[in-house]
Every structure is written in C-alpha cells, then in structure tokens.
C-alpha cells in the first residue's frame, strides 16, 4: 500500500464504519450533492479529524480503501466530454468500472435529463 494510503487508512480508523448494505439503504433516501476541493496532502489529516464525527466510512471485509479502474467511452469528437464540461442539461456518460478487490465489473450508461 502506498505511503499516502497508509496515512489515510490510519486516519479513517477514527470514523464509524458503515456497510455497503447500510450505505445503499441510506443513500436511497438522500439527494446526491457533490463538491470537489483541491487541497494540499498535508491538510488532509486535519480536515478528516474535524469531520470524523459527522461522516461514516464504507468498510467491506475490514477494508476502507478500495482500488477500481474506470474506462470512459466517448465519440470521436468527444461529445460526452464537452456535454459535461459545458454543463448541458441533457448529457450522457458511458464507462466500464472494474473493482479490483472484489473482481466485480460493471458497464454503466448514465443519462442526465
């Protein structure tokens, strides 16, 4: 495991765990909101310490850090990429996702309207 992942795994031990079944049951009742921030790696531990009482960490078979590989598909003129970047109301995403730890794989087609 990479040094960064070891530090992250150690910090995540302070969070209450949530199983995949519990997460799926909870998420079904919620509206998704996604916000992304760029921070320096040295800030991560202190930020996680501040939020640990308000969030859970997905834990499967004792693991809370998972590897997965995505392959995104697009047209020759990158139509899906430009739809996303231009925040078009109607857009699509096509990808394959391989969860390395469980050897599960999915083909996903998402349509936003």
pLDDT of residue 67: 86
pLDDT of residue 54: 93
Q: Check whether residue 5 and residue 54 sit in a common domain.
A: yes
Percent of the chain with pLDDT over 70: 96
Cα 90 to Cα 112: distance, rounded to the nearest angstrom: 5
Q: Check whether residue 56 and residue 36 sit in a common domain.
A: yes
Residue 111 pLDDT > 70: yes
Residue 75 vs residue 5, higher pLDDT = 75
Torsion of CA 106, 64, 15, 36, to 10 degrees: -50
Around Cβ 69, how many Cβ atoms within 10 Å?
A: 10
Specify whether the CB–CB gap between 64 and 57 falls below 8 A: yes
Q: Check whether residue 1 and residue 38 sit in a common domain.
A: yes
Residue 4 pLDDT > 80: no
**pLDDT, tens digit, 9 for 90 and up, residues 38-70:** 988 788 889 999 999 999 998 888 888 888 899
Q: Check whether residue 71 and residue 58 sit in a common domain.
A: no
Q: Check whether residue 33 and residue 72 sit in a common domain.
A: no
What does each C-alpha distance from 1 to 4, 8, 61, 67, 92 come to in angstroms? 8, 11, 17, 11, 34
pLDDT of residue 44: 85
- Listed range (5-19, 21-35, 72-86) with the worst mean pLDDT: 21-35
Q: Check whether residue 57 and residue 72 sit in a common domain.
A: no
Q: Check whether residue 43 and residue 71 sit in a common domain.
A: no
Q: Which of 62, 87, 103 is the last residue of a domain?
A: 62
Query: In terms of residue numbers, what domain contains 106?
Result: 66-113
Q: Check whether residue 56 and residue 101 sit in a common domain.
A: no
Number of compact structural domains in the chain: 2
Cα 10 to Cα 71: distance, rounded to the nearest angstrom: 30
Q: Check whether residue 111 and residue 98 sit in a common domain.
A: yes
Q: Check whether residue 8 and residue 31 sit in a common domain.
A: yes
Torsion of CA 97, 42, 6, 72, to 10 degrees: 10
Q: With 0.85 as the threshold, say if the pTM is over it.
A: no
């Amino acid at each position: 495991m990479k040094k960064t992942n070891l530090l992250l795994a150690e910090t995540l031990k302070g969070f209450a765990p949530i199983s995949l079944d519990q997460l799926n049951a909870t998420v079904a009742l919620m509206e998704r909101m996604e916000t992304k921030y760029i921070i320096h790696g040295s800030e991560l531990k202190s930020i996680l310490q501040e939020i640990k009482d308000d969030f859970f960490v997905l834990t499967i078979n004792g693991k809370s850090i998972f590897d997965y590989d995505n392959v995104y598909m697009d047209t020759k003129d990158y139509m899906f990429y430009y739809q996303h970047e231009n925040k078009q109301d109607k857009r699509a995403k096509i990808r394959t996702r391989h969860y390395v730890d469980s050897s599960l794989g999915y083909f996903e087609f998402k349509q936003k309207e």
